[in-house]
Amino acid sequence: MKMCGHCGSGNDDNSRFCIHCGAPLEARSGSDADRGPKEEIIYTDVAPRSIPISIILSFVTCGIYMLYWIYRLNDEINELAQDETAPGGGLVIILTVLTCGIYGLYWYYRMGEKCDYIAQTHTSNNILYLVLGIFGLGIVSIALMQDTVNRVLE
């Protein structure tokens, strides 16, 4: 059982994030430490994406490319964070549309936590992404997420 360093609650050994507070959990539990060094993981579906080109395409296509960008970015961040229980990109878009954007705000917050986790930083990008989303600057949040993915892949 993994213990959350943020709230102290117990979580399943396979969990990447705390089920109570959402904080990232340590990548290895005590039983994993006995198995030796971790193998390097190769991400086959994740590739760097040009942020300026993605923003331009989002405006030129009246937001259609942005939906594709969100779809791919969601799946890429989940793969980098090794979060197999997270919803797929298609479900994120459907839930965002059905809830008139409310789920999208929650998605910004969760992706901020995962971006901090994959970048191995202890910042609070989740609040920044949420505030940008609330003020209608979601494309800036998405661009910042893509920048994190691009830096992790370097």
Q: 7 to each of 3, 26, 35, 109, how far by Cα in Å?
A: 9, 13, 27, 18
Beta strands 10-11 and 2-3, pairing class: antiparallel
What would the pLDDT profile of 34-46 be if each residue is shown by its tens digit?
444 445 555 567 8
Q: Dihedrals φ, ψ of 17, to 5°?
A: -130, 150
Question: How large is the average pLDDT for residues 140-144?
Answer: 96
Which tokens hold the place of 68? 């594709």
29-43, 58-72, 97-111: segment of lowest average pLDDT: 29-43
Which tokens hold the place of 90? 């298609």
3-7, 58-62, 107-111, 139-143: segment of lowest average pLDDT: 3-7
Confidence bin at 54 (pLDDT 50/70/90): very high
Supply the mean pLDDT for the chain: 85
